[in-house]
């Protein structure tokens, strides 16, 4: 959920590092993180990771993927209420 109480889409991975959210109602994109924890130690974004929504879509689990430093096997949880990551 976005600040306005409506659904947003989390965007992670690709050439650029970080996490953005896209609000389809306003067609705006907001950068939440310049770098997410699995991207630490590299210059490019995380690739081919999987995200599973939890808590009715308010939070998500991020796992797998690859990064320029190698494959990732970490499992991370993003909690929207605190805008935080936990391993």
pLDDT tens sequence across 18-40: 999 999 999 999 999 999 999 98
Predicted pLDDT at 84: 95
The pLDDT score that the predictor gives to residue 36 is 95
Judging by DSSP bridges, how do beta strands 28-33 and 50-54 pair with one another?
Answer: unpaired
Q: The whole model's pTM is what?
A: 0.88
> For residues 2 and 59, is the Cβ–Cβ distance under 8 A?
no
- Rounded to whole angstroms, how far apart are CA atoms 41 and 72? 12
What's the confidence (pLDDT) of residue 15?
A: 87
With a cut of 70, which residues of the chain have pLDDT below it? Answer: none
pLDDT at 1: 79
């Amino acid at each position: 959920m976005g600040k306005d109480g409506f659904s947003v889409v989390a965007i992670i991975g690709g050439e650029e590092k970080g996490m953005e959210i896209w609000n389809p109602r306003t067609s705006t994109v907001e950068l939440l993180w310049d770098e997410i924890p699995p991207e630490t130690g590299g210059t490019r974004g995380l690739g081919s990771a999987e995200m599973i929504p939890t808590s009715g879509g308010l939070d998500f689990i991020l796992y797998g993927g690859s990064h320029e430093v190698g494959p990732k096997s970490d499992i991370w949880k993003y909690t929207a209420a605190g805008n935080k990551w936990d391993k």
